[in-house]
Amino acid sequence: MNGIRRDVRLRPVDPGTCALRRGLERDLNDGPAQRVAALSVELGLFAADLTDPALGARVAGLQAALAVVLAELREIGGALYPPVLASDGFEPALRAVAERHGLAIAVRGEQVAHLDADTADATCLAVADHLRSVPPETKVDVQVRAAAGGVRVDVTEERVRCG
Amino acid sequence: MRVAIADDGALFREGLVMLLRAAGHEVVASVADGDTLVERVSADPVDAVVLDIRMPPEPDGGLATAERLRALRPETGILLLSHYAETHYLMRVLEIGTEGIGYRLKERVAGVQVLDDTLTRIAGGEIVMEPSLAKRLVQRPAGGGGPVGTLTEREHDVLRLMAEGRTNAAIAKELFVSAKAVEKHVAAIFGKLDLPGDQTVHHRRVLAVLAYLRAGRVDG
């Protein structure tokens, strides 16, 4: 495969910012997202009592509008802190982010399985922030190595024609 | 149907209880965490459970609870709900079981009919997955490793449409071929992916899709 290679400089995310972003995503999920989902259920119950099909269609329209709101909240939440990062860690989280943006990703390095939670958070968020700016159909190679006082991450990108 | 629910969001949980009752089901437990649900369901078996993926025990209590429940009472249907549609969670769900299990977005089951249909299919042994997830899988870059890489381009197309949950008839229409041709492709896919022949067709389709998901994971 021929493509353009370029090296990327990641913007580091400090521990305080990581914690803040994680907290905001949680607040978004437990607050507005949960409330909007409950509102949609409320509308579903309301629709069950309706006999007029025209009113039923209007309620369905409202539910569709709420689904759009939730999709937008989900987009913001995922950008703040990928949900898979909290539950499954560094590599699955990067794969999830890459998939969302239509990227092919390879995550390599013996360090990957042994990152402590803070390093995994900071590293994942830095790479994830970068992935959001990468055009779709790019192959991204993420290599993690041990370095003095932390880890060194090399990201290589290659534009590919996929399909 | 006898149903139990666990979700730490009280508003949403109470709404689901009412939807289920409106659909004529009996809600025997409505709790805020997975451990309490397992306790209740062990003492008083149900036909199906509805679990929020992100609830206590943290961080993903729904998945841990589904695992325990499947080991404890394999015949109980399991519907996992989330605010996020993630392939990774779908794979974890399919690792817990490929029968009588489902993964859907919360707002997509917010109606009496759709919730009833989803639970009925799950209690009947089917697997139900969020359609938007299947759509995203189709759009992502294609890979080529493993047995999935040995599929022809046409077989790959058929498998992608299977991942979207399409029937053979729908696949035939989409690809402008006969239903017979699709059947041949599906049989070839099963053969190449080495899927056990003693399973039901539905089960084999799910296993084929699972192989497809796994291939996407390692191809990078």
Was domain B140-219 assigned CATH 1.10.10.10?
A: yes
- Whether residues A66 and A119 share a domain: the answer is no
User: Do A76 and A90 lie in a common domain?
Assistant: no
- For residues A95 and A113, membership in a common domain is answered with yes
CB-based contact A44 B110, cutoff 8 Å? yes
Output B99 or A123, whichever has higher pLDDT. A123
Tell me how many residue pairs between chain A and chain B have CB atoms under 8 A apart: 112
Quote the CA–CA distance of A128 and A80 in Å, as a whole number.
Answer: 10
Rounded to whole angstroms, how far apart are CA atoms B167 and B75?
A: 26
Q: Of A44, A63, A80, which marks where a domain is finished?
A: A80
**Residue that finishes a domain, picked among A80, A106, A136:** A80
> How sure is the predictor about A121, in pLDDT bands with cuts at 50, 70 and 90?
very high
A111 touching chain B per CB within 8 A: no
Do residues A138 and A112 share a domain? yes
Cα A104 to Cα A92: distance, rounded to the nearest angstrom: 13
> What pLDDT, on the 0 to 100 scale, is given for residue B141?
47
Shared domain check, A121 and A90:
yes
> Residue A109 is part of which domain span?
5-11+85-159
Asked if A110 and A151 sit in the same domain, the reply is yes
* B2-130 and B140-219: identical CATH topology: no
Complex-level ipTM: 0.88
B143 touches chain A (CB under 8 A): yes
Please state the pTM of the whole predicted model. Answer: 0.82
Are residue A70 and residue A96 in the same domain, yes or no? no
Series of mean pLDDT values for 10-residue runs along chain B (220 residues): 97 97 97 97 96 92 96 96 90 85 94 94 86 64 60 86 76 92 88 69 70 54
Lowest mean pLDDT among A54-63, A148-157, B80-89, B164-173: B164-173
B62: closest chain A residue by CA: A87
Q: CA of A141: which chain B residue's CA is closest?
A: B220
Question: In this predicted structure, what is the pLDDT of residue A1?
Answer: 45
Which site among B5, B93, B107, B214 would you substitute to test the A interface, given the most A Cβ atoms closer than 10 Å to its Cβ? B107
**Mutation for A interface: B19, B52, B86, most A CBs within 10 A:** B86
Place of tokens 């914690």: A19
Domain range list for chain B: 2-130, 140-219
Domain boundary among A30, A53, A80: A80
Burial readout A55-81 (b: 16 or more C-beta within 10 A, e: otherwise): eeeebeeebeebbebbeebbeebbbbb
Does A92 share its domain with A69?
no
Say if residue A33 is in the same domain as residue A59: yes
Domain identity same for A113 and A64 = no
Q: Domain count of chain A?
A: 2
What are residue B78's DSSP bridge partners? Answer: B49, B101
What is the average per-residue pLDDT within A73-98? 93
Token pair 């119950």: residue: A45
Kindly tell me if the per-residue pLDDT of A29 is higher than 80.
yes
Q: Quick one: pLDDT band at residue A28, thresholds 50, 70, 90?
A: very high
How far apart (Å, rounded) are the C-alpha atoms in residues A136 and A159?
9
Inter-chain contact A87–B54, Cβ cutoff 8 Å?
yes
Do A93 and A123 reside in the same domain of the chain?
Answer: yes
CB A80 within 8 A of CB A117: no
> Contact A106/B136, CB-based, under 8 Å?
no
**Is B24 within 8 Å of chain A by CB?**
no
Q: Would you state the pLDDT for residue A85?
A: 94
Statement: B2-130 belongs to CATH 3.40.50.2300: yes
**Can you give the pLDDT at residue A162?**
47
- Kindly state whether residues A140 and A89 are assigned to the same domain: yes
Residue type, B193: L
Q: Between β-strands A104-108 and A138-147, what pairing exists: parallel, antiparallel or unpaired?
A: parallel
